[in-house]
Amino acid sequence: MNVKKQFWEGLITQNPVLVQLLGMCPMLAITTSMFNGIGMGLSVMLILTCSNVVISMLRKVIPNKVRIACYVVVIASFVTIVDLLLKAYVPALSASLGLFIPLIVVNCIILGRAEGFASKNSVAASALDGIFQGFGNMVALTAMCIIRELLGAGTFGGGILNGGDGIRLISENVVALGMILPVGGFLTLGFLIAAMQYFLNKPKKKEVAKG
């Protein structure tokens, strides 16, 4: 178990969103304020970590033919717990994210890590995988939120800072309202994926140039 490698994979080289291209729906739908990004990111991280731990513990007793159904039951249980907790203690976030919290049940990130990692590795490694992959997802979500909120609304920290209104950095008269619309989500996501690919491929290009 290589903790440093797992952390770097979750954040950069195997980032679930920007490299593996998983969990696209919430990236495009709810990333209009930092409040949404951090809230969804933490929710996914908690559910992913808990699901990985339970699936890893049960990996030797779950029949192979029904493993996906079992994974969904485990994930759905933790999604229900998180959904109820948000409704009870953070109702504003629950209302803002709406249906996208229950839809975490079928989030490709969680199902993918359950099938690809937790079902084949120890409990400790699976727990770290959940934390680091969830953290990488949250970083991508938050980056999307910051860019779209800043360019589309002219504010930073919407839902969190300055009484929830965010700190205004750009005048309302010059913002690009399209950035908080669906088209803005596609453009921002494409830009972030391209930037990540450039970062990952830069060392390879240097090696080719030297060769």
The answer on pLDDT for 210 being more than 80 is no
Choose the weakest-confidence range: 87-91, 104-108, 190-194. Answer: 104-108
pLDDT category, 182, cuts 50, 70, 90?
Answer: confident
Q: pLDDT class for 162, splitting at 50, 70, 90?
A: confident
Mean pLDDT, residues 95-119:
89
The dihedral through the CA atoms of 172, 26, 83, 143 has a sign that is: negative
pTM of this structure: 0.90
**pLDDT computed for residue 135 by the predictor:** 96
Q: How many CB atoms lie within 10 A of CB 198?
A: 10
Q: What is the distance between the alpha carbons of residues 20 and 83, in angstroms, rounded to a whole number? A: 26
Residue 129 predicted with pLDDT over 90:
yes
**Cα 148 off chain centre by:** 16
The predicted structure's pLDDT at residue 209: 63
